[in-house]
């Protein structure tokens, strides 16, 4: 991909009592995308936020809203998230036996559609749909909770997916979610990532604004071709 790498701080690590302030901070800090983790307590062992909150977020920011649906039966809700204001919506391969149907439901209402893969799910499971996707989200931790350690095998998976993309001239971008930090941001972009999701590395940093700047500085050291 010939795009500048994007940083998508995850609101999962933000102060939920001050979301409007957190959105203003993301805009002023230079973040590119707002990552919204939607969890249902069924597909993953946690419950977070839903459609009404996404509607409120959309009223408060012009940044791209990236909704990661960690939910069972995503077809029931994916279109409603786009209508609520989500610009990008990702669903899990493991949660949906009808990926093509759900991907095009998202696209048909104007959203950009992605598919997420858990750490143990092979990228080959997407071989028949990669050409239809706007992006692929590789989980670099097991989904459900923030603050987990990065799974090192993600690098191998990322490089493999990037090679498939180049070989087949696909246009999807690659997003990495979980354990992203200043320490690994450059290496992830070098391996093929286009968008990095960072939660605790931004919102739990002593100086969140400086954290955004440092992560982005590492990301942009890489000249991608």
| Residues forming the active site | 37, 177
CA–CA distance, 67 with 18 (Å, rounded to integer): 19
Q: CA angle, 185 as apex, 180 and 189 as ends, to 5°?
A: 120
The secondary structure of the chain in percent helix, strand, coil, rounded to multiples of 5, reads: 40, 20, 35
CA–CA distance, 11 with 4 (Å, rounded to integer): 22
CA–CA distance, 73 with 218 (Å, rounded to integer): 37
- Give Cα 17 distance to the centre of its chain: 22
For residue 23, how many C-alpha atoms fall within 13 Å in the half-sphere facing its CB? 19
């Amino acid at each position: 991909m010939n795009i500048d790498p994007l940083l998508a701080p995850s609101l999962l690590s933000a102060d939920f009592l001050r979301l409007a302030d957190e959105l203003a901070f993301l805009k002023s800090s230079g973040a590119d995308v707002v990552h919204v983790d939607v969890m249902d307590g069924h597909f993953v062992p946690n419950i977070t936020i839903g459609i009404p909150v996404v509607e409120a977020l959309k009223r408060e920011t012009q940044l791209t809203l990236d909704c990661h649906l960690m939910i069972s039966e995503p077809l029931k809700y994916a279109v409603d998230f786009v209508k609520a204001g989500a610009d990008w919506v990702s669903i899990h391969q493991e949660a949906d036996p009808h990926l093509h149907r759900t991907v095009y439901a998202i696209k048909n209402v104007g959203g950009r559609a992605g598919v997420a893969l858990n750490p143990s799910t092979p990228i080959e499971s997407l071989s028949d749909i990669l050409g239809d996707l706007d992006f692929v989200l590789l989980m670099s931790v097991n989904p459900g909770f923030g603050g987990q350690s990065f799974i090192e095998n993600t690098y191998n998976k990322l490089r493999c997916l990037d090679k498939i993309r180049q070989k087949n001239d696909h246009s999807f971008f690659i997003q990495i979610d979980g354990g992203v930090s200043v320490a690994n941001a450059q290496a992830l972009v070098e391996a093929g990532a286009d968008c990095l999701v960072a939660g605790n590395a931004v919102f739990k940093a002593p100086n969140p604004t400086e954290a955004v700047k440092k992560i982005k500085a590492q990301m942009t050291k890489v000249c991608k071709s």
